[in-house]
């Protein structure tokens, strides 16, 4: 197992995060967190508790049951990811208040594997800092989050993203998933497109850029990989953007059934490269050792790119083609 700082939290433990929203990155975070905590004595708060229980083999409770569940738990873990970023919805913005309430009622609270944005509104930032000061453990996943907390006198340990603890299903399983999505065994490079409409200002430039790149590279197969299929927020449902692109360029394919983190890691291992907007697409592509053409849509992505000395590209066809041409070289020809 990859070394990870210890989070001191008693059991029974209530785990709270962005779970059950059909986001592959968040599901990978939860899978990694359960590797650390185990499943005995753990209850996960989920938007879709039955799905989460079936996928992860853990006891679950719905969002509405989170407050009542505190009575039966000694510890609370706010687990992983961009829980304190500007793209969180109304429920997400309540997380710091939930953590502070849990601490005030005698529960030990740990923040594990989190990222913190510097551009969140001031009231939310103050709540996050208050929660971090009260927490028994604070473990962040990137240097910038640690520096943000340190500026306020809050010491945080640094570890990898929790998804790093999830094993891959393997390249063979990934290749099988690509074939099931309509990409045959022909010896052509396959590039993953991990796009999102979360930042509305980028949607039209990204659509134009991707269509231009697809037209410019007829020798490359492209597979759209919706890493989030949010059940009720359209901007967070990457499949809607994918289907818009396929309607215009039918030779594009969409990865089917990409919710299982282990299987999705295998898919990245079977790719020749990836155009990455989603945060966990960057992490998965790096783990797979494939070339990355990054388009940063959020501060957490810029944090990761800075940590890895990798500059983002502009959302233009020329930049995407140049990035892929440089990475794939003769394989494109």
- What value does the mean pLDDT take over residues 35-40? 94
* pLDDT, tens digit, 9 for 90 and up, residues 44-68: 999 999 999 999 999 999 999 999 9
Percent of residues, the chain, with pLDDT higher than 70: 96
Note whether residue 1 is domain-resident: no
* pLDDT, tens digit, 9 for 90 and up, residues 203-214: 999 999 999 999
Same domain, yes or no, for 31 and 158? yes
pLDDT at res. 330: 63
Burial class (CB in 10 A: 0-12, 13-18, 19+), 257: exposed
DSSP 313-332: --SSHHHHHHHHHHHHGGGT
Same domain, yes or no, for 138 and 154? yes
Note whether residue 160 is domain-resident: yes
Same domain, yes or no, for 199 and 228? yes
pLDDT at res. 91: 64
Same domain, yes or no, for 145 and 203? no
What number of residues does the chain have?
A: 333
What mean pLDDT is reported for the chain? 92
- What value does the mean pLDDT take over residues 263-291? 97
The domain boundary residue, chosen from 165, 198, 228? 165
pLDDT at residue 82 greater than cutoff 60 = yes
pLDDT at residue 242 greater than cutoff 60 = yes
Closest-CA residue to 61 (of 15, 107, 113, 27): 15
Same domain, yes or no, for 212 and 297? yes
Out of 128-137, 182-191, 195-204, pick the least confident: 182-191
Note whether residue 2 is domain-resident: no
Taking each helix axis from N to C terminus, what angle separates 49-56 and 24-37, rounded to the nearest 10 degrees? 60
Range of the domain at 297: 171-331
Same domain, yes or no, for 65 and 79? yes
Instruction: Enter the DSSP assignment of 195.
Output: -
Note whether residue 5 is domain-resident: no
Q: Which residues of 67-97 are buried (b: 16+ CB within 10 A; e: fewer)?
A: eebbeebebbbbbbbbbbbebbeeebbebbe
Residue 92 sits in a domain whose CATH number is 3.40.50.11720
pTM over 0.85: yes
The domain boundary residue, chosen from 165, 183, 202? 165
The partner residues of 84 in beta bridges, in order of sequence, read: 116
């Amino acid at each position: 197992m990859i070394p990870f700082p210890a989070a001191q939290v008693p059991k029974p433990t209530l785990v709270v995060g962005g779970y059950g929203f059909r986001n592959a990155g968040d599901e990978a975070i939860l899978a990694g967190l359960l590797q650390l905590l185990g499943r005995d004595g753990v209850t996960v708060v989920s938007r879709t508790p039955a799905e989460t229980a079936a996928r992860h083999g853990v006891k679950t409770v719905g969002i509405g049951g989170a407050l009542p569940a505190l009575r039966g738990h000694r510890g609370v873990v706010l687990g992983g990811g961009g829980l304190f970023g500007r793209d969180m919805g109304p429920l997400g913005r309540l997380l710091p208040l939930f953590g502070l309430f849990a601490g005030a009622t005698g529960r030990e609270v740990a923040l594990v594997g989190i990222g913190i944005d510097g551009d969140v509104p001031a009231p939310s930032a103050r709540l996050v800092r208050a929660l971090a000061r009260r927490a028994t453990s604070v473990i962040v996943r990137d240097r910038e989050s640690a520096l943000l907390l340190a500026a306020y006198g809050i010491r945080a340990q640094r570890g990898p993203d929790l998804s790093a603890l999830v094993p891959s299903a393997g390249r063979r399983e990934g290749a099988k998933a690509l074939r099931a999505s309509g990409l045959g065994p022909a010896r052509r490079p396959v590039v993953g497109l991990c796009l999102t409409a979360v930042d509305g200002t980028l949607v039209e430039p990204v659509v134009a850029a991707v269509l231009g790149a697809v037209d410019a590279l007829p020798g490359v197969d492209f597979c759209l990989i919706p890493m989030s299929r949010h059940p009720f927020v359209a901007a967070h449902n990457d499949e809607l953007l994918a289907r818009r692109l396929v309607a215009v360029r039918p030779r594009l394919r969409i990865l089917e059934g990409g919710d299982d983190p282990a299987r999705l890691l295998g898919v990245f291992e079977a790719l020749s490269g990836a155009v990455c907007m989603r945060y966990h697409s960057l992490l998965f592509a790096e783990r797979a050792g494939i070339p990355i053409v990054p388009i940063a849509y959020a501060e957490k992505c810029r944090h990761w790119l800075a940590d890895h000395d990798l500059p983002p590209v502009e959302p233009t066809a020329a930049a995407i083609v140049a990035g892929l041409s440089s990475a794939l070289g003769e394989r494109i020809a």
